[in-house]
Amino acid sequence: MDTASRPGLRELKKQRTRDALVRAALELFTTQGYEQTTVDEIVEAVDVSQRTFFRYFAGKEEVAFAVQATAESHFVKAVRGRPSHEPPLEALRRAVMASWDTIGDAVEAVIPLELHLRTFQLIESTPALLAPHLRRQESLEEELARVIAEREGLDVDTDPRPRVAVALFGGVMRLTSRLWGAGEDFSVDAMRELTASYLDQVGPALAENWHTDDGRGGADAE
Amino acid sequence: MDTASRPGLRELKKQRTRDALVRAALELFTTQGYEQTTVDEIVEAVDVSQRTFFRYFAGKEEVAFAVQATAESHFVKAVRGRPSHEPPLEALRRAVMASWDTIGDAVEAVIPLELHLRTFQLIESTPALLAPHLRRQESLEEELARVIAEREGLDVDTDPRPRVAVALFGGVMRLTSRLWGAGEDFSVDAMRELTASYLDQVGPALAENWHTDDGRGGADAE
DNA sequence: TGTCAACTGTCAGTGGCTGTCATTAGCCTC
DNA sequence: GAGGCTAATGACAGCCACTGACAGTTGACA
C-alpha cells in the first residue's frame, strides 16, 4: 500500500532540519541584519554543525531566498493558470494580483506570512541580498517568457515579443518592489495597490508628449 | 598659475597604481575566470600588497566594475545632452546608440576597448558578477529617472511616469545585454543592432492581440 | 631640510565556504 | 531482531576575501 511516496523518517527529519534552519535564519536576519548574522549563530540556534548548514544551502544568502522561491513558483503557477484568451500583459497583471491574494497559503507551511514580508523588505534594503535577488528575477523572467511564448504558440527564440513583453512587465515589477521596500507600509495591500497603479502608468509613460497630461492620477509615490 | 588642479606626483602614482590594478585584474578575470582569480594573483602582477588593493577597491568585485562605471556615466552624459524637444523614450534610445558609438573615447584611456567588451561579456556570464551588475543598473535607473524628470520639468516623487518610462527602457536594455552575452558576436555593432531591434518591439509587445502579426520583423534573436 | 600627512606594508584575526574522514542513524534483508 | 548498507552528520584542517592596528616610507610644503 501507498507505493506513491512514503515520507520516511529520514525525509521527515531532513525537512524538519531545513525548515528550522530557514526559520532561525530569517528570524535572525530580520532582527539583527543579514551581515550582522553569522552562520555560526544560525546553526547554534538549530543545534546542527556548520557543515550541515552548507549541505542544505549553497551559501548564507541561499537560505534568505528559500521562501522567495516558493512565492515565485506560486506566481508562475498563477500565470500558467490564466485563460488563454487574455492578452499577455493582462494575464501577467492578473496573475500577480491573484498570487498576492493567495500568497499566505503558499508560504505559511514554513513561516508566518508576516516574517516573509519582513524578509522581502530586508532583501530590498540590503545590497548584499538585493543583488542576488535581481539575478533570480532575471532567470524568472526567462521562465516567464517561455510560458508566455507557449501560451501564444510562439517560439521564444524566433519571436522577440514574449521576452520584450516580460522585460517590460519585469521592469515595472522591480520598480514597484523597490518603492514598496523604500516606503513605510510593508503590507500586502500596499504592494497590490502599488503594482496596480504603476502598471496603469505604462501607457502614459510611453506617450510621445507628456505635457498633454493625459492618463495621470491613481499612482501616489512615496 | 594653474591654481585649478595640478596633478602632483602623489596623485599621479595613485592613478597609475589604480589603473595597473584594473588592467591586471581584468586581464586575469577574462583569461582564467573571475572566481578562479585570487586577489593575491592580482596584487602580485602589480607588485603591491593585498592591503593596498583593498584601499583602492572595496572588494574583489569592485575592480571588475571600474570601467563599467566610466561607460555608465558616459551614457548618462549622453542622455543629459539630448535636445529637450525629444520625447523621453526617444531621448533614451538615441543616447544609448550615441554612447555606443563613442564608447571607445571614454574607455581607452584605461584599457583597450576590446578588453572592456570581453569584461562585459564576462560579467553577463558570471553569476557572481551579474548580480552586483544588476544592482548597479537599478541605481543607474534611479539616476536616469531624475534626469528625465528634470528634462520634462516634473517631480520624480510625484509623477510616476519618469520612473516607469526608465523601468521599461531598463527592462529592454537588460534583455538585450543578456542576449548579447549569450550570443556569439561580442562586437559593438552586434550590441547596437540588438538594442535597436528590441526597442522597436516595445510597441508590438504591448499590442492586445499578437496574432494579427503586425509590427514584426527586424529582430533576430540568438 | 625638517616636519607633517598621506600612502603603503606587515601581521594577526574573522567569517564564509570546502574537502576529507570517521561516526551515527535510518533502512532493508534474512 | 541482528546484521550490513548507505545516507546524513560532525569534527577538523585549510583556502580565500576582507578588516583593524601599527609601523615604515615617501611626497608635499614651509
Of A164, A169, A198, the CB nearest to B198: A164
State the number of CA atoms in the 13 A half-sphere of A131 facing the CB: 12
Task: Report whether A183 contacts A191 (CB < 8 A).
Answer: no
Backbone angles phi and psi of B175, in degrees to 5: -60, -50
* pLDDT-above-90 percentage for chain A: 89
What are the boundaries of each domain within chain A? 8-61, 65-212
Question: What gap in Å lies between CA B116 and CA B195, rounded to an integer?
Answer: 18
Within 8 A by CB and 6+ apart from B106, the residues are B70, B71, B74, B99
Question: What would the mean pLDDT of A152-161 be, rounded to a whole number?
Answer: 97
Task: Give the pLDDT of residue B6.
Answer: 60
Residues A123 and A129: beta-carbon distance below 8 Å = yes
Question: Are A1 and A40 spatial neighbours (Cβ–Cβ below 8 Å)?
Answer: no
Report the distance separating Cα A118 and Cα A123, nearest Å.
9
Residue B2 has pLDDT above 50, yes or no: no
For residues A190 and B200, give the distance between their C-alpha atoms in angstroms, rounded to a whole number. Answer: 34
The 3-state DSSP class for residue A128 equals helix
- Residue A65's SS3 state is coil
Average pLDDT score over residue span B34-41: 98
| pLDDT above 60 (res A124) | yes
What is the rounded distance in angstroms from the CA atom of residue A33 to the CA atom of residue A121? 11
CA distance B77 to chain A (A): 22
Q: What is the pLDDT of residue B8?
A: 84
Does the pLDDT value for residue B1 go beyond 70?
Answer: no
Strands of chain B (E only): list them.
Answer: none
Taking 60 as the threshold, does the pLDDT of residue B3 lie above it? no
Partners of A60 on chain B (C-beta within 8 Å) are: none
What local confidence, expressed as pLDDT, does residue A220 receive? Answer: 45
Q: What is the pLDDT of residue A122?
A: 98
CA distance A189 to A119: 17
Neighbour tally for B107: CB within 10 Å: 19
Q: Are B215 and B204 in contact (CB under 8 A)?
A: yes
The domain B8-63 is placed in CATH, from the list 3.40.50.2000, 1.10.10.60, 3.40.190.10, 1.20.1430.10, at 1.10.10.60
Contact of A120 with A136, CB cutoff 8 Å: no
Q: Which residues of A154-176 are buried (b: 16+ CB within 10 A; e: fewer)?
A: bebeebbbbbbbbbbbbbbbbbb
CA A170 from centroid of its chain's CA atoms: 11
pLDDT of A167 higher than 70: yes
B215 pLDDT tier (thresholds 50, 70, 90): very low
User: How far is B110 from B21, CA to CA, in rounded Å?
Assistant: 11
Report whether A115 contacts A26 (CB < 8 A).
yes
Which cell numbers hold the place of A137?
Answer: 528575477
Residue-level pLDDT at A200: 98
| CB pair distance less than 8 Å for A178 and B132 | no
Are the CB atoms for B121 and B181 separated by under 8 Å? yes
Share of chain B above pLDDT 70, in %: 92
Does A222 have pLDDT greater than 80? no
Sign of CA dihedral B16, B17, B19, B23: positive
Query: What does pLDDT average to over chain B?
Result: 93
The answer for residues whose C-beta is within 8 angstroms of residue A51's C-beta and 6 or more apart is none
Q: Does B196 touch chain A (CB under 8 A)?
A: no
pLDDT in tens, B112-152: 999 999 999 999 999 999 999 999 999 999 999 999 999 99
C-beta separation of B168 from A168 below 8 A: yes
Backbone φ and ψ of A27, nearest 5°: -65, -45
Ordered DSSP codes for A87-129: -HHHHHHHHHHHHHHTHHHHHTTTS-HHHHHHHHHHHHH-HHH
* Predicted pLDDT of residue B211: 80
**Would you say B24 and B42 are in contact if contact means Cβ atoms under 8 Å apart?**
yes
Residue of B nearest to A222 (CA): B157
Residue A1: the pLDDT is: 37
Nucleotide nearest to A63 (CA to C1'): C16
Extract the C-alpha cell encoding B198.
Answer: 528590441
Pick B133 or B221 by higher pLDDT: B133
pLDDT-based confidence at A114, cuts 50/70/90? very high
Architecture in CATH for domain A8-61: Orthogonal Bundle (1.10)
Q: Which of residues 14-53 of B touch A (CB under 8 A)?
A: none
At residue A8, the pLDDT reads: 84
Mean pLDDT of A9-33: 96
What local confidence, expressed as pLDDT, does residue B128 receive?
A: 98
Spatial distance between the Cα atoms of A62 and A67, rounded to a whole number of angstroms: 10
* Tens-digit pLDDT profile for residues B154-200: 999 999 999 999 999 999 999 999 999 999 999 999 999 999 999 99
Round to a whole number and report the distance in Å from the CA of A117 to the C1' of C17: 29
Phi and psi at residue A68, in whole multiples of 5°? -55, -40
Q: What is the DSSP letter of B91?
A: H
Measure, in angstroms, how far nucleotide C10 C1' is from residue B52 CA. 12
A48 touches strand C (CB under 7 A): no
Record the cell numbers describing residue B211, joined without a space: 496574432
Position B207 pLDDT exceeds 90: yes
- Mean pLDDT (whole number) for A213-222: 45
DSSP code, position B36:
T
Residue B98 forms contact with A (CB below 8 Å): no
Which distant-in-sequence residues (6+ apart) come within 8 Å of B15 by Cβ? B7
pLDDT at A9: 79
Q: What is the mean pLDDT of residues B81-101?
A: 97
CA distances from A215 to A33, A200, A209, B37 (A): 41, 9, 12, 52
Q: Domain B65-212, what architecture?
A: Orthogonal Bundle (1.10)
Q: What is the pLDDT of residue A15?
A: 96
Q: Residue A33 — pLDDT band, cuts 50, 70, 90?
A: very high
CA angle B149, A206, B173 (to 5 degrees): 80
- Give residue A68's Cα distance to chain centre: 5
Decide if pLDDT at A3 tops 70.
Answer: no
